[in-house]
């Protein structure tokens, strides 16, 4: 399957976003860059919203979001129904985020990890498969909680 990703970052994540894009280019993975496009200060919820909505609408297979810590941008993305954004700073968690949680967005903190590890985390996330079974039941319960709040 040819993957299509949505990628975005705030000013703190801008440089790491560029490094991840270079890595995706090398791997021949298609993506759309939702910004930001410089290190000028901006607000991570704006980027999180645009990427999360595009992923939720099925325009992209997965999203990658980066801010300073990865915390704010993942919190914001998770406000969009149907989004399961996972903040990962190690390859084990990135693999489990797909295998167990069926995460559809990977979040990382550019002030926490370096470029090499970030690219390995992206690879682990993208190569893992959702295992379903008992994990599907749990993901369904997450969405039941989401729907309780209508
Ligand atoms: O990590 C973040 C949110 O979780 C932001 O990138 C961080 O808060 C931005 O901080 P500043 O405006 O001081 O550069």
Q: Tell whether residue 140 is among the known ligand binding residues.
A: no
pLDDT at 16 over 70: yes
Residue 75: CB within 6 Å of ligand 1?
Answer: no
Residue 41: CB within 6 Å of ligand 1?
Answer: yes
CATH class, range 4-148: alpha beta
ipTM exceeding 0.90, yes/no: yes
Q: Which residues are the active-site residues?
A: 67, 100
> Tokens for 142?
């997450």
- What spacing in Å lies between the alpha carbon of 8 and ligand 1's midpoint? 14
- What spacing in Å lies between the alpha carbon of 38 and ligand 1's midpoint? 14
Q: Tell whether residue 70 is among the known ligand binding residues.
A: yes
Q: Please report the pLDDT score of residue 1 as a whole number.
A: 66
Mean pLDDT calculated for residue range 1-16: 96
DSSP 57-126: TTS-SEEEEEESSSHHHHHHHTTSTT--EEE-SSHHHHHHHHHTT--SEEEEETTTS-HHHHHHHHHHHH
The pTM of this model reads 0.98
């Amino acid at each position: 399957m040819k993957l299509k990703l949505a990628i975005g970052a705030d000013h703190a994540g801008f440089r790491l976003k560029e490094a991840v894009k270079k890595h995706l280019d090398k791997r021949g993975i298609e993506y759309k860059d939702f910004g930001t496009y410089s290190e000028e200060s901006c607000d991570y919820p704006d980027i999180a919203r645009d990427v999360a909505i595009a992923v939720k609408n099925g325009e992209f297979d997965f999203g990658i979001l980066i801010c300073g810590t990865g915390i704010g941008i993942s919190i914001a993305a998770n406000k969009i129904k149907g989004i399961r954004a996972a903040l990962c700073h190690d390859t084990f968690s990135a693999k489990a985020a797909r295998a167990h949680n069926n995460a559809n967005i990977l979040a990382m903190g550019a002030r926490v990890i370096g470029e090499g590890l970030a690219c390995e985390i992206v690879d682990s996330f993208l190569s893992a498969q959702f295992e379903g079974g008992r994990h599907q039941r749990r993901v369904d319960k997450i969405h039941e909680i989401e729907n309780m709040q209508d």
